[in-house]
Structure 1
Amino acid sequence: MRLKIFLLVFLASVFLFNNNVLASTNISSSVTTDTTWTLVGSPYILEISPSVNSGVTLTIEPGVVVKAKSGKSIKIKGALVANGTTENPISFTSIKDDSIGGDTNADGASSSALEGDWTGLDFWSTSSGSILNNIKIKYGSTCLSSEGVSLDLSNSEISSCQNGIDFYQGDHLLNNVSVENTSDKALYGTGNANITAEGLFFSDGDIGFAFTGETDVNITNSTFQNFSGAGIKNIFIEPIGRLPESEDEEIYLSNSLITNNNYGLILERNSYGNINNNAIYGNSAAAWTNSDEEEPTLNFENNWWGSPTGPYHYFYNTSGEGDILETADEDFDPWLLANPFEATEVEIGSLGQFKYDGVASIAETGTNMSDSVTFKGTLTSPFGQAKMQLEIKSFDVPFDGIVSQETEFASDGIAVEKGVSGLIDGSYHWRARIVDEFGNESDWVEYGTDGNIDFVVHQVPHYTQNQSPYPDEAATLAWAIQDYAFGPANTGCGATIAACGCAMTSGVMVARYYGITEVGGGDVTPGTVNAWLQNNNGYYPGGAINWLKVVEYTDNQLAYDGRSGDGFNNYPLLDEFLNLERPAIAKIAKGRGGSPRSHFIVISNKLADTYEVRDPAWYDTKTLNEPSTVGKVRAYENGFDGLRLFKPGEGLAQSYFSANVASPAHLVIEDSLGRRLGYDPISNTSYNEIPNSSYVSEMYDDPEGVPSEHEWKIAYIPDASEDEYKMYVLGTGSGSYTVGVSGNGGGGFSSDSESGVIEENEVINYEATYSNEGGITEASLEVPAPDPIPTYPSAKISFSTSSKSLVVSSADIGVLVEQTPTGYQLTDGEGDTTSFDLTGDYIPAVQPINLLISNISYGGIPSALNGSLYYTWTTKPDGTIKMYKQIVDINDGTYSTANYKLQKTTTTIWDTLPGLLPVKTILAGVVPMDINIQNDSITVTH
């Protein structure tokens, strides 16, 4: 009885689904081309008995309901693809069935569905390629029939039919199929059919599983109960019409339960095979009978007959108290002394909790930054299959034995897992048990230490810039159509939040993660944040977001981390943040994953080999390594191109200084200590010398529109002190530009900007000031007065210890270095030049190098200075320098030498300046000397 109740509960849980009627579609013609019946058109009403023509595929989406009028059927001559899900099976039923799809025939309660209301699914011999999974069929005369075609049926339910399944010929595979309440047969196989079945649950009718006509069956892990005729019956027939004579009908039955029938089995003359390791008991007339005068050839060893004394047999076991065997001399000894279903010791072990990928573990009491947790356990189920059941509760809710989730059935020793999504933020504890297919249950086993919190969910909430279910369709539509930043005046991406709001929406998700869900009495959403930024100088000209304004919006409950910046796949910094349970906003550059669109997303959780993400546009993307597919999924090649990092703030205003410029230019700023931040495209030099600062480029692309070429470059100096800055705008092309500065401090917010036109490789200088004097914050920008005295670019000659070659560069901003036939020429943004010849013996990576510096000139004016350079070295086979020697001799009396030996691991440098004594310096490692040419002087530095 426990098994019966358990299986009924299980099947009820498997086949629950959403009954909402989305539409109604009448079917009044056959299917002549590949067709899909969608959920939107459900329910579908069969006005006729449509054919699915040969060579044609009818696909039915999960959750669809098909209702048939009286006597109608679907004739499948081609293919039927009905691949439902556990949550949303596909249903075929009578038009009188009001329990699903509504009152389709609009007759209220005046009629009710009965078996035989319609015919069923009829598969013809021309049919092929069908898929039947997670379907429900009710109220047919023969709910599922096939002639000369092989069918697989899995995870499905058939009920309230005259006959459940009728197979004529073909090879058939049944897995986890229930057939209940049939007035005739649950399944009938004939005509040389081959039927392999596992996990059947047949109950209530006349005959459970009937077979004849050379049909062979192999059944395991199944149940046959409550049949007034027999649970399983092999019928002997003489040749009738197309049916062959009963002959050589094999049956292999194992690990199954046959109980509470009139007869358990009726097996006649031509049956042969093995019936072992079953429980056959509680059958009122007999466990097995043979109504034919000839005996079949069967092995009945090792079955449970309802008593340790074995079955009652009129000759061989008259003392048996189990079910009756009405057979002459079949081999039923030995028998099982206990019910294997009740005696089996089932256990659950090796419990584990993991993140979304099922690989990255969650430590006991650990935090998972996702609503998805994977639970694992190992099954011990020596007899038959079993499943793991889970009870997952908020930590403050005691266990009550109510099952939260369960796995599919699996074999003994298998490690099973169940992924659970939709967990809300909070602390949890959980436990597990095993239940086998016969209803045997293990004790509940609590994960970890009893009484402890097992894991904490603190997820990054999912919000999108476009319409989506995150958090809901209505809310996302409302803000998706709002003007973003400056609306139609935006540069490049578009006018709406849906088009441009990826960065801003990512900021919303991070703020809400930190519990900032309400600001100024308003809910924190893309709509409210965008409105605040619009009214509080939160966007740079053209529409780029000022990330530090997001901090201000949150009343400084967030702080901007100065390690933010651009960089290819900076996994160490990302992992550091995630290990501190801090999500990160990631920049996605054009071209990544094959997409022409730049983007911003939130990386929300570290997994074993990738990361979970919250994507504000391609919202079905779950992980950073997910391949691109149709719909709202985008590929990111398991990488990113920059990070924008926020951490919990202390509620104090975060002072900052920021500078920005739009295409076609880059920006370098230099503080009063000579430290630089930005990028010089002319010399291809990046600077990040100002502490706790970052220089980033940002682009915004409409997920649905034409990709933009507009790019912003932004320098951030969080926690800035008062200072005066030199600023250089460096042209990357020809066109107009706008450069701006902004600052925030105790005196509020201040900004300033200048516009102009720039050419490629041109450098335009500005001076900027950031101050908080007198309680007033000021960020100002001005063009410096022109210097009447030309300033010529500096040159530096360096030796690369890795490539064993010379490198000529400049310490100045925006200097173009060009090699000439005899040396080098350096040109700054104003067209001023420094040139010199470098002649002698020089082949890169070949020593010695012996060169003469000569013909130095500044703007064409020659200098009297010249000098010589000498380099020599030896290396180990792996390229490591064993010895290095360098001599610099300048004609003004400067003379310097550098000597390195691997044994000492130091470089000894002697410097002799004009008119002074030599000075000795010892430095660790290999230290080449740099030669600097500037302002009519040659100096040596190291």
Structure 2
Amino acid sequence: MKKIKFLSIFALLAVFISACSSDDDSSTPEPEPGEEGITKSGILTENETWTADNIYLLEGKVVVNDGVTLTIEPGTIIKGKAGQESLASALVVDQGGKLMAEGTADNPIIFTAESDNIQPGELQGTNLDQNDVGLWGGVIVLGRAPISYSGDNETGQIEGIPTSEDFGEYGGNDPEDNSGVLKYISIRHGGITIGQDNEINGLTLGGVGNGTVVENIEIVANQDDGIEWFGGTVNVTNALVWSQGDDGFDTDEAWSGTLDNGVVIMGTESGTGLEMDGPAGATTHPNPDQQHTLKNITLIGAGTSSNYADLRDGLLVNLENVFAYGFGETARVKINGQDSRDELANDNITFSNWQIILPEGVAIEDIIIGKYPDPNDSDNELDMEIASEKFIDNAEGVEAGSVGANTSVFEWTYAFAMGVEF
């Protein structure tokens, strides 16, 4: 008995020494993946790398903090957990944080819903399709580039994140701000509701600077907009949106970058192909720093009452080489508001090389309409002389398009794999 007691004490001493040794080890190992993956939540305070052999689960808002870099390897799958309002899951790159997410055409980085049965090494699951929307949040990138915010404030709070949070601010005075690199990324089944008439976009770019690289982006089945820009100067190349619940490409607050080569494939519940709003703060004319450009764009309708474009609130935009087809007979390009009508007249809204396969019985002069308050005009219709000069003379009805996006660059996408024609 005495021998057994001595051995027990010795064993306990050994355990104690081992525990002390572990406490002295300051390294924090990556958590072991569970059966469904590695769960991430809260604010990332140190640099991290997410690898393609794991699935990462976003629980609530996962925030890349100021001064922190999150690197995501090609082929990595990130899934957002369900949860509405304050519990909505999203990846947020805060001001000063960096996202280095460089996928490839063969190994894109995929953001999707937790309920998606896709597994590491796969490009798509089998249980969800383009009709499954609003299952998680989305990806939000926030920078320090200039914005035109209400009240002429230099910064604002991005939609989808309450002001009570320590993150969510965007905007500043650095047009060359760098939030990282986003390449070959597919974002699927997001846009969950966070409040009444308030959902998260597939990709939100708030005050993002032109030091940031955004190329080869796909948004599928997002309940709200596909991509929305809130000011900033970032340029985007090769972007495809399919079956969004609201607008395809949405611009706000004097974004002054360029979208080159974009496709919007409307679903039956989609809103507008292009929705573009003007500066929310002061506008100074002429001001090229408040004007953005969309060029080489293809808009594919779903045969419903969705519109081609809605140009609002005195925006400043160039729309070049746009090809549209498949829309219903009531689809229009809307000049929305007296201020937008004035910008059209002053050549701050420009159209160049528009081609539309027109629905039967629709003429090119029917496409553009104006709606703006004028107490002396009960019809509130666009001045057709302006319309003829600015739009109709730069647009034509065609049987086949010779402008628009180079769609061959989208053969890596989920949409192409699902047999969508574009």
The alignment's TM-score, normalised by the length of structure 1, stands at 0.28
Cα distance change on mapping 1:283 and 1:216 into 2, 3 Å? farther
Alignment-derived partner of residue 57 in structure 1:
69
Question: Share of identical aligned residues, percent?
Answer: 23
Shift of 1:172: 2.7
Q: Kindly indicate whether the alpha-carbon contact (under 8 Å) linking 2:70 and 2:100 is maintained by their aligned counterparts in 1.
A: yes
Counterpart residue type for residue 291 of structure 1: K
Instruction: Give, in angstroms, the shift of residue 35 of structure 1.
Output: 1.1
1:48 Cα deviation after fit: 3.4
Shift of 1:202: 0.6
User: Are residue 207 (structure 1) and residue 272 (structure 2) matched?
Assistant: yes
Q: Whole-Å Cα distance in 2 between the matches of residues 333 and 206 of structure 1?
A: 23
Change (3 A) 1:130 1:182: same
| Aligned partner (choices 222, 226, 229) of residue 297 of structure 2 | 222
Deviations 1:451-490 (A, max 9, x none): xxxxxxxxxxxxxxxxxxxxxxxxxxxxxxxxxxxxxxxx
Deviation at 1:174, TM superposition (A): 1.8
Partner of 2:52: 39
Distance verdict in 2 for CA 1:336–1:229, change over 3 Å:
closer
Hey, which of these two has a bigger chunk of helix by percent? Answer: 2
Given candidates 298, 311, 316, the residue that maps to 1:234 is: 311
Determine the C-alpha separation between the residues in 1 that align with 2:394 and 2:335: 19
Other structure's SS at 2:247 match: strand
Judged with a 3 Å threshold, the aligned counterparts in structure 2 of structure 1 residues 280 and 195 are, in CA distance, closer, same or farther, namely farther
Q: Indicate the residue corresponding to 1:255 in structure 2.
A: 321
Contact in 1 for aligned 2:357/2:399 (Cα 8 Å): no
Largest Rg, 1 or 2: 1
CA distance change for structure 1 residues 386 and 171 in 2, over 3 Å: closer, same or farther?
closer
**Structure 2 equivalent of residue 76 of structure 1:** 93
1:280 to 356, 368, 387: 356
1:26 equivalent to 2:101? Answer no
Equivalent position to 2:207, from 140, 148, 153:
148
Paired with 1:156 and 1:111, the residues of 2 have a C-alpha distance of 18
Distance, in Å, in 1 between the alignment partners of 2:113 and 2:394 is 46
- Does the 8 Å CA contact 1:154/1:174 hold for their aligned counterparts? yes
Q: Matches of 1:112 and 1:230 in 2, distance apart?
A: 20
RMSD: 3.6
Cα distance per residue 1:230-249 (max 9 Å; x no partner): 122112xxxxxxxxxx33x2
State the 1:25 CA deviation.
2.0
Q: Deviations over 1:15-48 (max 9, x none)?
A: xxxxxxx9832224532111111112x2111133
Answer yes or no: is the 8 Å Cα contact 1:264–1:283 preserved in 2: no
2:105 matched to 1:86? Answer: yes
Deviations 1:214-267 (A, max 9, x none): 2633121111121633122112xxxxxxxxxx33x2221222212233424112
Cα displacement (A) at 1:340: 8.7
Please, which of 181, 193, 203 is the counterpart of residue 131 of structure 1? Answer: 181
Report if aligned partners of 2:251, 2:276 keep a CA contact under 8 Å in 1: yes
Any conservation in 1 of the 2:41–2:58 contact (CA below 8 Å)?
yes
Q: Cα deviations across residues 262-290 of structure 1 (Å, max 9, x unaligned)?
A: 42411233243321212034258742211
Q: Helix, strand or coil: the match of 2:117? A: coil
Is 1:191 the counterpart of 2:268 in the alignment? Answer: no
The answer to whether the 8 Å contact 2:75/2:121 transfers is: no
Contact 2:261/2:405, CA 8 A, preserved across alignment: no
- Alignment partner of 1:265 is 2:315: no
- Structure 1 window deviating more from structure 2 (330-339 vs 164-173): it is 330-339
Note the C-alpha offset of 1:386. 6.1
Match of 1:192, SS state, is coil
Report the Cα offset of residue 168 of structure 1: 1.3
Question: d(CA) in 1 for partners of 2:369 and 2:58?
Answer: 44
1:138–1:160 CA contact under 8 A, matched in 2 = yes
Whole-angstrom distance in 1 between the partners of 2:246 and 2:399: 30
CA shift in 2, pair 1:152/1:266, >3 Å: farther
Q: Which amino acid aligns with 1:86?
A: A
Shift of 1:139: 1.2
Aligned pairs, number: 287
Cα pair distance change 1:36/1:102, threshold 3 Å: closer
Counterpart AA for 2:274: F
Gaps of 5+ in 1: 1-21, 236-245, 295-324, 345-382, 388-405, 410-437, 440-942
Q: Is the 8 A contact 2:251 2:277 kept in 1?
A: yes
* Residue 119 of structure 2 is aligned to residue 119 of structure 1: no
Output the amino acid matched with 2:142: W
Contact 1:258 1:264 in 2 (8 A): no
Asked if the contact 2:356/2:396 (under 8 Å) is kept, the reply is: no
- Cα–Cα, structure 1 residues 159 and 333, in superposed 2: closer, same or farther, change >3 Å? closer
Report if aligned partners of 2:203, 2:228 keep a CA contact under 8 Å in 1.
yes
Shift in alpha-carbon separation, 1:100–1:200, aligned structure 2, 3 A: farther
Letter in 2 for 1:134: Y
User: Conserved in 2, the CA contact under 8 Å of 1:263 and 1:289?
Assistant: no
Matched with 1:161 is 222
CA offset digits 1:865-919 (Å, max 9, x no partner)? xxxxxxxxxxxxxxxxxxxxxxxxxxxxxxxxxxxxxxxxxxxxxxxxxxxxxxx
The CA distance in 1 between the partners of 2:354 and 2:242, in whole Å, is: 21
Preserved contact between residue 234 and residue 266 of structure 1 (Cα < 8 Å): yes
Task: Give distance in 2, aligned partners of 1:110 and 1:293.
Answer: 44
| Alpha-carbon distance between aligned partners in 2 of 1:110 and 1:180, rounded to the nearest angstrom | 14
Shift of 1:197: 1.2
8 Å contact kept, 1:225–1:231: no
Aligned ranges for residues 292-303 of structure 1 at < 5 Å? 292-293=372-373
- Judging changes above 3 Å, is the alpha-carbon distance between structure 1 residues 112 and 159 closer, same or farther for their aligned structure 2 residues? closer
In structure 2, do the counterparts of structure 1 residues 25 and 334 end up closer, same or farther at CA, with 3 Å as the change threshold?
A: closer
Q: What SS class does the counterpart of residue 134 from structure 1 fall into?
A: strand
- Residue 173 of structure 1 contacts residue 196 of structure 1 at CA under 8 Å; is this kept in 2? yes
User: For residue 114 of structure 1, what is the amino acid of its counterpart?
Assistant: D
Change (3 A) 1:283 1:167: farther
Q: What code does the residue aligned with 2:67 have? A: G
Match for residue 116 of structure 2?
Answer: 97
Deviation at 1:110, TM superposition (A): 11
Q: How does 1:298-313 map to 2 (within 5 A)?
A: none
Which one has more relative contact order, counting CA pairs under 8 Å at least 6 apart?
A: 2
1:152 Cα offset (Å): 4.2
